[in-house]
């Protein structure tokens, strides 16, 4: 896999950022859910646009490319510089070297097609006002668009901040929400479609946690949210 190729070529001892068992399951569940959501979108909209916000060294395009999609990987300039060591741009696969909060990136995205935005490992690090600004700016500029993003509940984020064992990994998390349904209050054109709980994936691997996965608010702790914007 491309991700293994990248990891093997980077001169770094990754043991210093090793995740605990539950963190590893979280990342696996998130990746699987977002891959499936992207594939489902592309099945219904094969000749479309996907914008991967805060892409890092993500390899999703290599897993889901249908041969037609126009794909944009967006991240800070230093990240895109690193990314160019491992990926080549094509007529359908482009890099955008800008902060997601620098909305001039919008001018670089092809318009006139159904568009999916992906925000993986991104919104948690922003304040609520910044997340709202990103979502509403997308809504204003892409009138036939959807977005999928990961979100954690405020309760879980607070617990991480208090836990010395995970505080280092999650101390920068600033924003969370109980359910994506609440974002419909931001604008009348925002429609909540669905959300997928991480706890519904690989239930046996969640050990004792799996026994509580159907109970609110546990069921809302970790999820991927799917929104759409009404055309208009």
CA distance 125 to 121: 8
pLDDT by residue for the chain (232 residues), tens digit each? 677 777 767 776 666 666 666 667 888 899 999 999 999 999 999 999 999 999 999 999 999 999 999 999 999 999 999 999 999 999 999 999 999 999 999 999 999 999 999 999 999 999 999 999 999 999 999 989 999 999 999 888 887 666 655 556 556 788 999 999 999 999 999 999 999 988 878 677 776 666 566 666 666 788 999 999 986 5
**Sheet architecture: strand order including 115-119:** 93-97, 70-75, 49-53, 115-119, 145-152, 222-229, 190-197
**Class of domain 2-229 as given by CATH:** alpha beta
- How many Å separate Cα 35 from the centre of its chain? 10
The residue length of the chain stands at: 232
Domain boundaries, the chain: 2-229
Name the region of 165 (left: φ>0; alpha: ψ -120 to 50; beta: rest): alpha
How large is the C-alpha radius of gyration of the chain? 18
- Under 8 Å CB-to-CB from 226, ≥6 apart: which residues? 37, 146, 147, 148, 180, 192, 193, 194, 195, 196
Nearest to 151 by CA among 128, 178, 129: 178
């Amino acid at each position: 896999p491309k991700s293994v190729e990248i990891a093997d070529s980077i001169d770094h001892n990754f043991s210093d950022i090793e995740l605990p068992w539950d963190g590893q399951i979280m990342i696996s569940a998130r990746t699987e859910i977002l891959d499936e959501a992207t594939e489902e979108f592309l099945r219904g909209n094969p000749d479309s646009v996907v914008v991967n916000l805060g892409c890092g060294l993500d390899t999703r395009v290599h897993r889901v490319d249908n041969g037609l999609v126009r794909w944009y990987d967006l991240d800070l300039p230093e990240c895109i510089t690193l990314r160019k060591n491992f990926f080549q741009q094509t007529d359908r696969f482009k890099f955008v070297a800008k902060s997601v909060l620098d909305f001039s990136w919008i001018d670089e995205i092809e318009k006139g097609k159904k568009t999916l935005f992906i925000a993986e490992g991104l919104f948690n690090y922003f304040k609520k006002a910044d997340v709202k600004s990103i979502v509403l700016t997308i809504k204003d500029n892409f009138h036939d668009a959807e977005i999928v993003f990961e979100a954690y509940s405020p309760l879980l984020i607070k617990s991480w901040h208090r836990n010395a064992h995970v505080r280092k990994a999650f101390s920068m998390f600033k924003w969370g929400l109980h359910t994506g349904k609440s974002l419909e209050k931001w604008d009348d054109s925002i429609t909540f479609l669905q959300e997928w709980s991480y706890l519904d994936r690989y239930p046996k691997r969640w050990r004792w946690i799996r026994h509580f996965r159907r109970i609110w608010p546990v069921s809302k702790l970790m999820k991927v949210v799917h929104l759409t914007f009404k055309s208009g």
